[in-house]
Amino acid sequence: MLQLILGGARSGKSRLAEKLASDSHLAVTYIATSQPLDGEMNQRVAHHRARRPADWALIEEPLELARVLRESAGAECCVLVDCLTLWLTNLLMLDDAERLAAEREALIDCLAALPGEIIFVSNETGMGVVPLGELTRRYVDEAGWLHQALAERCQRVVLTVAGLPLTLKGPAL
């Protein structure tokens, strides 16, 4: 099953995804897309690490998500990707539109062939004010298009607000 968990900052989306992964009773591989480049991000990463069970495998991959998913997914596995908007940011910061398009297309194209459980976590950014600045507007646009493409292919899509899941598509939680 492919699942997409959306929500704002501190909405509870990662906690929900981690609970779903634990409840799957499968071997879990956690794919972290962040690049902790400053002290604040290092603290966020440490918080996430402390929350995860010690027996979960960890892969840190900021760019080549489709490749890592193809290598990690399996019939008896649950793969949790946290988070797609950090992955998107990493690609946008390369300032290489062709690379962004190729990685996005590779991700979308590999989804149908992935075995096992796959849980994606991403920040919903399209519910606020229109941001100032070209790069920020592009980020919001790209995130929205990515979420739409993933939601179309996922069997379950959940919006998390204040720690509460609202199922938008698929079986209720």
48 is catalytic: yes
Q: Which two tokens stand for residue 60?
A: 């840190």
Cβ atoms < 10 Å from Cβ of 92: 18
Residue 39 CA, chain-centre distance (Å), reads 22
SS (H, E, C) the chain: CEEEEEECCCCCHHHHHHHHHHHCCCEEEEEECCCCCCHHHHHHHHHHHHHCCCCCEEEECCCCHHHHHHHHCCCCEEEEEECHHHHHHHHHHCCCHHHHHHHHHHHHHHHHHCCCEEEEEEECCCCCCCCCCHHHHHHHHHHHHHHHHHHHHCCEEEEEECCEEEEEECCCC
Residues known to be catalytic: 48
